[in-house]
Amino acid sequence: MSDMMSGVAKIPVIERAKIGALIDAGTYQREYRRSIEQPEQFWAEKAADLLEWETPWKSVRNCSLTTGHIRWFEGGRLNVSVNCLDRHIPLQGDKPAIIWEGNEPGETRTYTYQESLEAVCKISHVLKSRGVKRGDRVAIYMPMIPELAFSMLACARIGAIHTVVFAGFSAESLSDRINDCQCVAVITANEGLRGAKTIPLKQTVDEALLNCLSVTTVMVARRTPTEVSMTAGRDLWLAEAMHDSPADGGAEVMEAEDPLFILYTSGSTGKPKGVLHTTGGYLLHATMTHRDVFDIRPDDIYFCAADCGWVTGHSYIVYGPLSNGATTVMFESIPTYPDAGRYWDVIDRHKVSIFYTAPTAIRAVAKEGDHLVDSYDLSSLRILGSVGEPINEDAWAWYYNRIGKGRCPIVDTWWQTETGGIMITPLPGVTDLKPGSATLPYFGVSPVIVDETGAELKGNGVKGRLCLTQAWPGMMRTVWGDHKRFIDTYLTTFPGKYFTGDACIRDQDGYYWITGRVDDVLNCSGHRLGTAEIESSIVHSQVVAEAAVVGFPHDVKGTGIYAFCILRSADTSENQLAKAADAVRASVRKHIGAFAVPDQIHFVPGLPKTRSGKIMRRILRKMVEGEFGSLGDVSTLADPSVVDVIAKEVRSRLSS
């Protein structure tokens, strides 16, 4: 990231991408300016154009990034599931809404818009028959099967607030989330399938619910033939309950600012935050960005390889694509099953035209070799997307040349769980690309770069922290149950601005390069984790007295997890250390989930601390980044000698 990226040349817009594009360069510039200078007029027009409202809004926006009062389209009423399904029936009831590709290659099912609507209505009625009503919270803990998307939409239909919990989370994480927002129901499956693994979802739900008193209903989709224990009066099989339910009706008319979903995400403290998104503004942002960024056309087969347990799955597998009446591919498996050619197999068989994935997945399959690509026909592809972390030059070039054959623009989209939708991104027919840069702001997005004191760094060729100065429709509204935390986390660091937590460069051409988090948040294989959460789950193992977790550069994961741990026991025999490491891994698996297990568990005699006892994570971070020469002044540490001891071992671990 040296020299502020000024050396990277632009790759001009591919001619092919300009033909028939929804937005051209002139329109982007004109509309962008209008979105910033006349936001009310701009957004009113878009809201009327892109969504179907039961009642028009009275005020377009009423937002303050100082008080944290964020309201869009107040007085307006609409239903998200009606926008995603019902409104498309007259013209395209028979168009595939969801193409599901199951765990085994070729195991596929297609649901038209009409069939999807029927399934969603049925689930809505089941929820209602169990007493779930408007405003109630429902946890969804499911594999990537169509019933997951239908359950989200069924909640939206009756005005219940869903909170999807990624199926890789442990029972404890699940119960924490259920308790935080007091869910009344859980929708799950008997088991999940991911590659060669079977995941005992219902069993995990049962375990979680031992600690959750608010849940009175568990709905279970049958994914495998395996029987699971069912608690009478509480649990029901989803398919059986749907069987006798009406296949239409049931849509509640919601206020624009009624909550749509809560999605928990990690921050710098040990406790995940329930990010709240509401109805009108979120749906507009998801719909419009999906249309513009992917340049959606009627015949597109659109495939986003994310999981609905994360925000990308919400906005760009379910809500955005369906609201646009597009065909969305839902993928249950993993990129390396049965081999690392799986994505290309799916793209070939379903004639996918738009593919959206994360750099970590690209790196994971690229390293397995090009022969896994070459046997597939990828000529249906038109646009490629990237999300979740900065995409390194090698991965970009491989994606662009090997997968896109130089014919497809890559849209490198920067956004966050909190932003609801894409914020900084190229547009296919508009933006010259620079590999590794998310390029330019989307409509209504006003990025600024500030220094540590909050002073705005004007002009091009600057590096600092990324903030946004204007509220946008898809912005989170609060942290569930803790509005103060919302304000403290996002609006207080740089008063009057939304602080993203990311470092950023604006280069000589005004292009944005997001270079990574400046807080204690790690982005490992596209999973967002707080170091504090991992540390506390390690200490819970009982074998560790104190832990410090930092991220280190990892070839595939982007960021790997490096845990420095002080052992409780004085016995440091090899056997004892191996046992302790196992206990640490088991504890993280239990308290968070397998995806948070550290790549490196390094037992240290002590941690670099200031005399007042604060752990100097900066020193640990420098070491794992291989920058042993710039550890800074260590003489003020309580025990400077510890640094050399740790550094020696870090060197040998990271070189092996």
Binding site for ligand WT7 (CB under 6 A): 265, 310-312, 387-390, 412-417, 438, 500-502, 514, 517, 523, 528
Q: Which is nearer to ligand WT7, 366 or 529 (CB)?
A: 529
Q: How far is the CB of 312 from ligand WT7 (least distance, A)?
A: 5
Q: How far is the CB of 404 from ligand WT7 (least distance, A)?
A: 17
Q: Which is nearer to ligand WT7, 263 or 616 (CB)?
A: 263
Where would I find the H helices in 245-341? 280-293, 311-313, 320-323
Q: Which is nearer to ligand WT7, 141 or 166 (CB)?
A: 166
Q: How far is the CB of 388 from ligand WT7 (least distance, A)?
A: 4
Q: Which is nearer to ligand WT7, 81 or 523 (CB)?
A: 523
Q: Is the dihedral of CA 43, 49, 52, 57 positive or negative?
A: positive
Specify whether the CB–CB gap between 543 and 584 falls below 8 A.
Answer: yes
Give the separation between CA 351 and CA 302, rounded to whole angstroms. Answer: 9
Give the separation between CA 594 and CA 155, rounded to whole angstroms. Answer: 29
SS3 content of the chain, % helix, strand, coil (to 5): 35, 25, 40
H/E stretch holding 129:
helix 113-129
Q: How far is the CB of 67 from ligand WT7 (least distance, A)?
A: 24
Q: Which is nearer to ligand WT7, 82 or 410 (CB)?
A: 410
Q: How far is the CB of 599 from ligand WT7 (least distance, A)?
A: 19
Going from the C-alpha of 638 to that of each of 120, 461, 616, 642, 650, the distances in angstroms are 61, 39, 11, 9, 20
Q: What is the β-pairing status of strands 254-255 and 77-78?
A: antiparallel
Q: Copy the structure tokens of residue 186.
A: 């859980």
Give the separation between CA 123 and CA 236, rounded to whole angstroms. Answer: 12
Specify whether the CB–CB gap between 615 and 639 falls below 8 A.
Answer: no
Specify whether the CB–CB gap between 633 and 618 falls below 8 A.
Answer: no
Give the separation between CA 620 and CA 606, rounded to whole angstroms. Answer: 12
Q: How far is the CB of 423 from ligand WT7 (least distance, A)?
A: 9
Q: Which is nearer to ligand WT7, 415 or 603 (CB)?
A: 415
Q: How far is the CB of 276 from ligand WT7 (least distance, A)?
A: 14
* Nearest one of 475, 534, 479 to 180, comparing CA atoms: 479
Q: Which is nearer to ligand WT7, 417 or 541 (CB)?
A: 417
Q: How far is the CB of 343 from ligand WT7 (least distance, A)?
A: 18
Q: How far is the CB of 529 from ligand WT7 (least distance, A)?
A: 9
Q: How far is the CB of 523 from ligand WT7 (least distance, A)?
A: 5
Q: How far is the CB of 466 from ligand WT7 (least distance, A)?
A: 8
Q: How far is the CB of 536 from ligand WT7 (least distance, A)?
A: 20
Q: How far is the CB of 77 from ligand WT7 (least distance, A)?
A: 29
Specify whether the CB–CB gap between 188 and 237 falls below 8 A.
Answer: no
Where would I find the H helices in 592-640? 617-624
Q: Which is nearer to ligand WT7, 121 or 491 (CB)?
A: 491
Q: Which is nearer to ligand WT7, 310 or 480 (CB)?
A: 310
Q: Which is nearer to ligand WT7, 114 or 416 (CB)?
A: 416
Q: Which is nearer to ligand WT7, 191 or 418 (CB)?
A: 418
Beta strands (DSSP E) in 209-258 are: 217-221, 235-237, 254-255
Q: Which is nearer to ligand WT7, 143 or 420 (CB)?
A: 420
Q: How far is the CB of 465 from ligand WT7 (least distance, A)?
A: 11
Specify whether the CB–CB gap between 100 and 110 falls below 8 A.
Answer: yes
Q: How far is the CB of 542 from ligand WT7 (least distance, A)?
A: 30
* Nearest one of 524, 506, 527 to 515, comparing CA atoms: 506
Burial 556-569 (b: 16+ CB within 10 A, else e): bbbbbbbbbbebee
Cis peptide upstream of residue 338 (ω within 30 degrees of 0): yes
Interacting residues of 652 by C-beta distance below 8 A, sequence separation 6+: none
H/E stretch holding 82:
helix 80-84
Specify whether the CB–CB gap between 84 and 322 falls below 8 A.
Answer: yes
- Alpha-carbon torsion angle 356, 359, 360, 361, nearest 10: 40
Interacting residues of 577 by C-beta distance below 8 A, sequence separation 6+: 567, 603
Q: Which is nearer to ligand WT7, 324 or 413 (CB)?
A: 413
Q: Which is nearer to ligand WT7, 341 or 501 (CB)?
A: 501
* Nearest one of 278, 273, 285 to 261, comparing CA atoms: 278
Q: Which is nearer to ligand WT7, 259 or 426 (CB)?
A: 426
H/E stretch holding 485:
helix 483-486
Going from the C-alpha of 476 to that of each of 150, 278, 354, 429, 649, the distances in angstroms are 23, 8, 27, 29, 43
Q: How far is the CB of 4 from ligand WT7 (least distance, A)?
A: 16
In which residue are the tokens 């930092």 written? 550
Q: Which is nearer to ligand WT7, 438 or 539 (CB)?
A: 438
